[in-house]
């Protein structure tokens, strides 16, 4: 018996939902989500039907302004698998993507499903990334795959990005929206005995790491320096002395290879990194950027033209708070992973530490701002008080309760920002994203609130050159003029 | 093949020079000690244009490795390193005080002093040159309070002239070429800070009385 492949319509929704639930169980999309997908102007959904019965469906997403497309979903009814229906649906979507001038197609697939992975590989997709615990609640990793559609015209610039705003010397190379290399040299170990980043040490380390980092990036990307079409560099915000190393290096490199240079904002670049994994940035989105240097909430309506700083920390950055509390607890630097580890067996509700700037009176002026200094003092007092009374302090309980307070504030404010602004998605960035509890709580609360959560791979969350290159490439592809060669560095550069 | 040397020094202001076959073809100096990051790209580009050369003509890079105030010093070294990478040219490190000394006859002991901030000076004492013209160092480079340095030099019985203290990238380039000629050019380009970073290991601090 033969089947037919045709465009899906709203009338197929019920049949599609039935198949969706049977195929994906508790990970399946809701009916409203599916309906929105089917009806969206930038999606292309197909069904395979036989008589009145839907045997399979698949969807593609392609935004006009982007050169890449996404396979949104694909399912074939259990009884009709191994009949080539999945392959036909995929081939039809690939054809459509090519018609829409996409140069790449991305998809995510469960790591524990070898059969579809094999099909995608046969169709020319290659594995480019792995996302730990992507499918919940099963905790199964996702494999990100990409198909490059050959084009005759080179439309995607090769951009080299240099990042030196804090303690990571990052050099990344992208081709349009595709990541080619992301090499990071960190001076973290040299700061350990000081309990925090020492700007002069960081700047010295950048200078020493430059050449080797550049060489490794070129080698990883498999390109020669002559193939670079443009240089992008962070010129703020960050540590001035550290930023200057990168800016001096980038300018001289641009002059040496006779290519344009783009000065890039570090915080916005943290958001632009998502494009390297998804081919595009879904907007509007709220971004929560949390590191040793920043704790910021951004509202991104348009990556290049409309980014608003909703709020930021008024004292310590969240990562700094982790470092300082680690010291109080006798744990080592950097504090984030140490506290994460110590908190594993602790009771997060053992001590109710204060949540900075969350009281009703703070809501007017500081709804999206953060403060961790009061929390830091409260934890230190708690420990000192217990010690002075000769009581044993449970490091696990203090670590867990402290971590819970930080995470609670971060996620609560991020979700408020989404809901207040009617933004259905949140992207995380910055080194503190490595914190397991932050990811856990963000996932749970976003799911509850119906907010799509994006967590880039950790190597793209921490400071890196690839994000700088990615934002640079976006500017170029949007036709933005390069920066003048005399730009400066700004430690408090606004978004 | 024409030898084109790009010389850079940011140990004080921003100095850039292009030397073609050992002859200074262009030279610029911006005295502002707070504008290195802004100036460096522009001065390299304009220096090449003024010398009627393109970046890809450059066959070697020489850079002042200090001593000098750190933040500015690094900008020039970072730029020189990446320029050299960009055009696949060798890079040589030249002492910034040596480049000042180079411009002097050095018939008598000559003291080179530059501002090290915090009421200290970077110094080097030189006398005589090698056959190729490379200054011979008697003392330094070092960092000290000027008064202390003077006491030390007097005690050692040194009489000296005080040299002009502005680094010229052209002289730095010429010195680099002299070192290359006599085989003493320094291929390891490491900033000569002469001071450790200001930082003290963290101590626990009580917050309650």
Which pLDDT score, from 0 to 100, does residue B23 have? 98
Low-confidence ranges of chain A (pLDDT < 50): 152-154
| Residues on chain A touching B48 (C-beta within 8 angstroms) | 255
Helix (H, G, I), strand (E, B) or coil at A107: strand
d(CA B39, CA B32): 9
Distance between CA atoms of A468 and A447, rounded to whole angstroms?
30
pLDDT score for B203: 64
Say how far apart CA A119 and CA A35 lie, in whole Å. Answer: 27
- Predicted pLDDT at B205: 60
Strands, E assignment, chain B: 4-9, 14-20, 23-30, 60-64, 91-94, 110-115, 121-129, 135-144, 161-162
Chain B residues touching residue A240 (CB < 8 angstroms): 71
Give the nearest chain B residue to A260 (CA atoms). Answer: B41
The more confident residue out of B151 and A1 is B151
ipTM: 0.96
In the numeric block, the tokens 């290399």 are attached to A181
Predicted confidence at residue A154, as pLDDT, reads 44
CB contacts, 8 Å: B75 with chain A: 244-245, 247-248
> What pLDDT, on the 0 to 100 scale, is given for residue A101?
76
DSSP A225: G
Which residues in chain B are closer than 8 Å to A247, comparing Cβ atoms? 37, 75
Q: Is A186 exposed, middle or buried (0-12, 13-18, 19+ CB in 10 A)?
A: middle
Structure-token pair, residue A360: 């009703």
Confirm if A108 and A144 have CB atoms less than 8 A apart: yes
* pLDDT over 70 percentage in chain A: 99
- Say whether B44 and A253 touch across the interface (CB within 8 A): no
As a whole number, mean pLDDT of residues B183-195 equals: 96
C-alpha A32: how far from chain center: 26
Nearest to B181 by CA among B103, B109, B105, B129: B129
By the CB < 8 Å criterion, does B7 face chain A? no
Give the distance, in angstroms, between the CA of residue A63 and the centroid of all CA atoms in the same chain.
19
* Region B12-32 average pLDDT: 97
Q: Is A137 helix (H, G, I), strand (E, B) or coil?
A: coil
Can you tell me the distance from the alpha carbon of A162 to that of A411, in angstroms, rounded to the nearest whole number? 30
- Mean of per-residue pLDDT scores for chain B: 94
Quote the pLDDT of residue A1. 53
| Cross-chain Cβ contact B37/A488 below 8 Å | yes
Whole-number pLDDT of residue A82? 84
Strands A168-175, A158-163: pairing is antiparallel
Report the phi/psi class of residue B72: left, alpha or beta, with left for phi > 0 and alpha for psi in -120 to 50. alpha
pLDDT value of residue B202 = 66
φ and ψ at B189, to 5 degrees? -95, 100
Which runs of consecutive H residues, i.e. helices, occur in A232-280? 240-257, 266-272, 274-278
Model pLDDT, residue A237: 97
Rounded Cα distance between A203 and A249, Å, is 12
The structure tokens 């950048």 sit at: A206
- The arithmetic mean of pLDDT across residues B175-202, rounded, is 93
In chain B, which among 41-70 make CB contacts under 8 A with chain A?
41-42, 44-45, 48, 54-56, 58, 70
Among A283-292, B101-110, B160-169, B174-183, the minimum mean pLDDT is found in B160-169
Please answer yes or no on whether B78 and A210 come within 8 Å at the CB atom: yes
Mutation site, B58, B78, B199, interface A, largest A CB count within 10 A: B78
- Specify the pairing of strand A285-290 against strand A425-429: parallel
Phi-psi label, residue A195: left if phi above 0, alpha if psi -120 to 50, beta otherwise: left
Q: Which residues of A touch B197 (CB under 8 A)?
A: 198, 200-201, 204
Residue A408: its pLDDT value, please?
A: 97
The secondary structure of chain B in percent helix, strand, coil, rounded to multiples of 5, reads 30, 30, 40
Q: What is the pLDDT of residue A41?
A: 85
Query: Does residue A192 sit at the B interface (CB-CB below 8 Å)?
Result: no
Largest CA distance in chain A: 82
Is residue B102 very low, low, confident or very high in pLDDT (cuts 50, 70, 90)? very high
């Amino acid at each position: 018996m033969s089947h037919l492949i045709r465009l899906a319509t709203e009338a197929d929704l019920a049949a599609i939902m039935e198949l969706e639930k049977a195929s994906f169980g508790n990970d399946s999309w809701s009916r409203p989500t599916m309906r929105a997908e089917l009806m969206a102007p930038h999606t292309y959904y197909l069904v395979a039907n036989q008589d009145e019965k839907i045997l399979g469906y698949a969807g593609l997403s392609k935004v006009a302004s982007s050169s890449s497309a996404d396979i949104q979903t694909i399912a074939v009814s259990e009884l009709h698998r191994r009949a080539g229906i999945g392959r036909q649906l995929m081939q039809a979507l690939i054809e459509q993507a090519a018609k829409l001038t996409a140069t790449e197609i991305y998809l995510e697939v469960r790591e524990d499903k070898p059969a579809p992975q094999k099909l995608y590989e046969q169709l020319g997709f290659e594995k480019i990334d792995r996302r730990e615990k992507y499918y919940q609640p099963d905790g199964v990793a996702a494999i990100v795959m990409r198909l490059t559609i050959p084009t005759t015209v080179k439309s995607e610039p090769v951009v080299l990005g240099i990042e030196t705003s804090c303690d990571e010397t990052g050099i990344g190379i992208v081709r349009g929206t595709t990541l080619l290399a992301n090499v990071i040299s960190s001076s973290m170990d040299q700061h350990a005995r000081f309990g925090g980043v020492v700007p002069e040490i960081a700047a010295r380390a950048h200078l020493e790491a430059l050449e080797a980092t550049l060489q490794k990036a070129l080698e990883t990307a498999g390109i020669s320096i002559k193939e670079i079409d443009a240089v992008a560099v962070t010129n703020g915000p960050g540590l001035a002395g550290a930023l200057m190393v990168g800016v001096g290096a980038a300018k001289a490199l641009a002059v040496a290879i006779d290519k344009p240079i783009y000065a890039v904002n570090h915080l916005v670049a943290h958001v632009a990194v998502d494009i390297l994994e998804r081919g595009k940035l879904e907007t509007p989105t709220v971004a929560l950027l949390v590191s040793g240097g920043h704790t910021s909430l951004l509202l991104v309506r348009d990556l290049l033209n409309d980014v608003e700083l909703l709020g930021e920390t008024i004292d310590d950055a969240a990562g700094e708070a982790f470092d300082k509390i680690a010291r109080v607890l006798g744990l080592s630097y950097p504090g984030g992973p140490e506290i994460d580890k110590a908190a594993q067996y602790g009771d997060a509700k053992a001590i109710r530490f204060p949540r900075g700037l969350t009281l009703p009176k703070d809501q007017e002026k500081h709804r999206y701002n953060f403060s961790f200094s009061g929390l830091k003092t409260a934890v230190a007092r708690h420990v000192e008080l217990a010690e002075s009374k000769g009581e044993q302090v449970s490091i696990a309980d203090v670590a867990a309760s402290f971590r819970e307070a930080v995470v609670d504030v971060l996620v609560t404010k991020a979700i408020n920002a989404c809901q207040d602004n009617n933004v259905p998605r949140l992207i995380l960035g910055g080194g503190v994203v490595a914190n397991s509890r932050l990811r856990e709580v963000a996932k749970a609360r976003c799911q509850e609130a119906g907010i799509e959560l994006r967590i880039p791979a950790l190597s793209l969350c921490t400071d890196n050159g690839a994000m700088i290159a990615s934002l640079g490439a976006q500017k170029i592809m949007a036709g933005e003029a390069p920066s003048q060669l005399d730009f400066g560095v700004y430690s408090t550069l606004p978004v | 093949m024409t030898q084109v040397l790009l010389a850079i020094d940011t140990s004080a202001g921003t100095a850039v020079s292009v030397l073609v076959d050992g002859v200074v073809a262009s030279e610029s100096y911006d005295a502002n000690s707070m504008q290195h990051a802004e100036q460096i790209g522009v001065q390299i580009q304009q220096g090449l244009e003024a010398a009627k050369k393109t970046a890809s003509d450059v066959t070697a890079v020489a850079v002042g490795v200090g001593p000098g105030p750190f933040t500015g010093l690094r900008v020039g070294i970072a730029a020189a390193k990446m320029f050299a990478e960009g055009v696949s040219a060798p890079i040589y490190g030249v002492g910034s005080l040596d480049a000042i000394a180079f411009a002097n006859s050095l018939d008598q002991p000559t003291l080179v002093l530059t501002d090290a901030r915090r009421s200290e000076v970077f110094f080097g004492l030189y006398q005589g040159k090698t056959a190729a013209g490379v200054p011979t160092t008697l003392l330094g480079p070092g960092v000290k309070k000027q008064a202390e340095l003077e006491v030390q030099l007097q005690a050692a019985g040194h009489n000296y002239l005080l040299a002009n203290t502005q680094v010229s990238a052209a002289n730095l380039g010429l010195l680099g070429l002299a070192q290359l000629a006599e085989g003493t050019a320094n291929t390891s380009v490491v900033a000569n800070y002469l001071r450790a970073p200001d930082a003290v290991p963290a101590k626990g601090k009580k917050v309650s009385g």
